[in-house]
Amino acid sequence: MFRFLAAAFWIPTLAYNAQLPPASWEKYVDQAVEFQNARRFAEAEEALAPAMREAERLGADHPAVASVLLHVGRLRTLRHDYTAARLAFNRALNITDKVYGRENLQYGLLLTNIAMTYHQEGQYSSAEPLYRRAISILERTAGPEHDSTAVAEAGMAKLLLAERRNTEAETLFEKVIPVLEDAGEPDESILASVLTNLAEAYRMDGRYAKAEPFYRRALGMVEEKPALRTDEIGLGLGHFPPMLRKMKRKDEARDLDAQIKSILPK
């Protein structure tokens, strides 16, 4: 049985106030991001500590504090410390509420991140209402065709798929794909994940002809860009060759199996 992974859909960090002058806290955050991208999580954590001290000098409820907290939450999510991640995200959420109110893009993005921590823990009943609330806010503040809205919807679709609510999931995946494709700077990791999950949904429903082009497109993306070769996508693509065997295409399945094994994580 396919084990659906709640991949981390990292929401774009937005400036809480574009008029803020460059500050020392931002330099520490930049360092933390570099360490995080290199999977040097302990060093990233160390860099965020002075970032928080510098930000808090501007005031406990200053937008800079919320910005640092967003990075803290993301880092702790990557370290699978979901309780600590939610504490950071919720504190950022409270600051955002005080400064900008709840009908705000940043508020919707933070709700999405919180929903994803519950999702990754398998707490679907806690994640679903947060996803729905985030989507509602993002549709009103950013628009239904905005990539941030699509990211929240993609997370929701993954949750529906994990709960075997395939028809609902397929509809939502189909909706977000063109939005992600048309984004100014499309996040290919999210798009590849969505393509793979939609293929899996079709496969599980026995709709093999519909699943195949999405598997092939995701495979083409990970062949071109090694950074997209995640465990989640590997799990999904691993079901492509067996599907071809069920379609009586054994030679293709054998070649494809070797191809997939040669490029995906062991």
pLDDT 10s digits, 235-246:
899 999 999 999
Rounded percentage of the chain residues whose pLDDT exceeds 70: 90
- pLDDT tops 80 at residue 4: no
Asked whether this chain's domains 20-101 and 104-165 adopt the same fold, the reply is yes
Single-letter code of the amino acid located at 211: A
The Cα 254–Cα 240 span in angstroms is: 11
Number of other residues whose CB lies within 10 A of the CB of residue 228: 18
- pLDDT tops 60 at residue 119: yes
104-165, CATH topology level: 1.25.40
Contact, 112 vs 131, CB < 8 A? yes
Q: What pLDDT score was predicted for residue 13?
A: 46
Q: What pLDDT score was predicted for residue 3?
A: 36
Domain residue ranges of the chain, discontinuous segments joined by +: 20-101, 104-165, 187-266
- pLDDT band, very low/low/confident/very high, at 93 (cuts 50, 70, 90): very high
Q: What pLDDT score was predicted for residue 51?
A: 94
Q: What pLDDT score was predicted for residue 183?
A: 76
Rounded percentage of the chain residues whose pLDDT exceeds 90: 76
Model confidence pLDDT, tens digit, residues 8-24 = 444 444 444 444 455 78
**Mean of pLDDT values over 175-187:** 84
- pLDDT band, very low/low/confident/very high, at 1 (cuts 50, 70, 90): very low
Largest CA distance in the chain: 66
Q: What pLDDT score was predicted for residue 125?
A: 96
20-101, CATH topology level: 1.25.40
The Cα 133–Cα 146 span in angstroms is: 16
The Cα 266–Cα 261 span in angstroms is: 8
The Cα 169–Cα 197 span in angstroms is: 9
List the alpha helices (DSSP H) in 101-123. Answer: 105-120
